[in-house]
Amino acid sequence: MNIINLIKIALKALANNKTRGLLTMLGIIIGVASVITMIAIGQGAKQGIQSQISEMGSNMIMIQPGGDMMSGGVRQSSSSMETLKMADYESIVAESRYLTAISPVVNSSGQVIFGSNNSPSTIYGVSQDYLDIRYYSIEDGAMFTDHDIQSAAKVCIVGKTVVDNLFTNGENPIGQVVRFKNIPFQIIGVLKSKGFNSMGMDQDDMILAPYTTIQKRVLAITYLQSLNASVVKEEYSGAAIDEITEILRRNHKLGLEDEDDFTIRSMEEISSMMNTVTDLLTLLLGAVAGISLIVGGIGIMNIMYVSVTERTREIGLRMSIGAKGVDILSQFLLESILISLTGGAIGVLLGFVFAMIISMFTPTSVQLWSVILAFAVCTFTGVFFGWYPAKKAAQLDPIEAIRYE
C-alpha cells in the first residue's frame, strides 16, 4: 500500500471522529504553545539583560573595595569598606594604558526637596568622565568643572524624573536650589532622558554632583565606595583588569599570599554570568512546559488504543484481502503522527499569539529553533506514543479480528 493511500485512509479515519481528534490534539497544542511561549519569555529576558548591559557600556569595568573579606565572621558590604582610596584613583589615572575614562563613585540616598515638593532619590558623587562611561549626556545647562571638584562646590546635575517630581509648575530647573539632607545644591544641568532600562529601573531618577562634595559635605568620608571605568576596547577588558589589579595590590602593599582587598568586575563577566542564569531559566521554563507534551503524548496513545479496538474488524478485513502487518502498522502510526503534527502546527500559532500578548508586559523573543524543536518533539511524540498501539494492530490475527464484535 503506497503512502498516498495510507494518508487518505488516515485522514478519513480522523475526519470520522473530529471531536475526539481535536480533544486528542489539545494536549499537544497546549504543550507546544507553552514551550514556545516559555522559551520566548526566557530569551526575551536574556536579550533585555544584554540590552541593559549595552546601555551601561559593554566595555565598562567596576572596581569596588573588599574582596572575600570577613569581619567578625560577617561579610561586609563593599560600600562600608575603606580599602579604596583617592591615591588608588590617582595611580590608576596616571599608570593605566587601557582605560579611556575613570570616575570615582560615592552615593547617598534620601529626600531631595524643592519648595513644598520632595522626592526620594539617590545622589551620586562622580567626575566628568562618568557621563562618557555610562553614556549619559547633558540636555540643558552644563557639567560641573574641575574647579567645582577641587572646591567641593554644591552644584549638581539632575535627571528628568527628579525634574518632573520637583518642578511641577513647569519652572526652569537651571539655577534653582534643591536641598538634599539639608545641604543646598544649585542645579547647573539636566541630563538627557534615558527612560527605564530593560529591567524596569528608572535611569532618570538620579542626581550627579562632584565626588568631593558628596565625600566631604554629605557622607563625611575620605575613601571611595567604587570606581567606574571604560576600557579602550571590550577585548582589552582582561588586560585592563590585570593592570588595575597590579596597581592596587602594590598600593595596598599586599604580599604574594595575601588576598585582594578589592573586587573588579567587567561587563563582559557580568554578561556571561547573566546569560548563564537566563539560559538555565529558559531551560527550566521549557522543561516545565514540555511536561504537557508528555501528557499529550499519553493522550495520543490512549486514543490510538481505543481506535485499534474499535476498528479491529476493519483491520481483519484489510489483512484478509492482502494488507500486510507493515501496512497496518504504517496506517495507525501515520494517524498518530498526523494528530501530533496538526496539534503542533496549531500550538505554534498559539505560541506566537501568546508571546505577542505577553510582550505587552515583558520582553519576549520567539526563537526559530524553538519552533523547529517543537515540531521535532511533535514528530517524536507521534512516533513514540503511536508505535505500540500501531504494532498491536499489526499483530492481530486476521481470523480473530474478523470475528471481533
Instruction: Yes or no: say if 174 and 141 are a contact pair by the CB < 8 Å rule.
Output: yes
Q: How far apart are CA 63 and CA 212, in angstroms?
A: 18
Domain extent listing, the chain:
3-52+273-403, 59-266
- Residue 95, pLDDT above cutoff 70: yes
What pLDDT, on the 0 to 100 scale, is given for residue 71? Answer: 45
Q: Among candidates 313, 287, 311, 321, which has minimal Cα distance to 390? A: 311
Q: What SS3 string covers 270-281?
A: HHHHHHHHHHHH
pTM of whole model > 0.75?
no
What pLDDT, on the 0 to 100 scale, is given for residue 73? Answer: 44
Continuous H helices in 57-95: 86-95
Lowest mean pLDDT among 12-16, 233-237, 243-247, 330-334: 12-16
> What pairs with residue 122 in β-bridges?
109
Output phi, psi for 67, to 5 deg.
-110, -115
Q: How far apart are CA 168 and CA 331, in angstroms?
A: 74
Lowest mean pLDDT among 63-67, 89-93, 171-175, 312-316: 312-316
Q: What is the pLDDT of residues 336-389, one digit of tens each?
A: 778 888 888 888 898 889 888 988 887 788 888 878 877 787 777 777 777 767
Lowest mean pLDDT among 77-81, 85-89, 187-191: 77-81
What pLDDT, on the 0 to 100 scale, is given for residue 227? Answer: 95
Other Cβ atoms closer than 10 A to 342: 19
DSSP strand pairing (155-158 vs 183-191)? parallel
Q: What is the pLDDT of residues 132-167, one digit of tens each?
A: 888 899 999 999 999 999 999 999 999 999 999 999
Instruction: Yes or no: say if 129 and 231 are a contact pair by the CB < 8 Å rule.
Output: no
- Residue 89, pLDDT above cutoff 80: yes
Percent share of the chain, pLDDT over 90: 35
Q: How far apart are CA 140 and CA 129, in angstroms?
A: 18
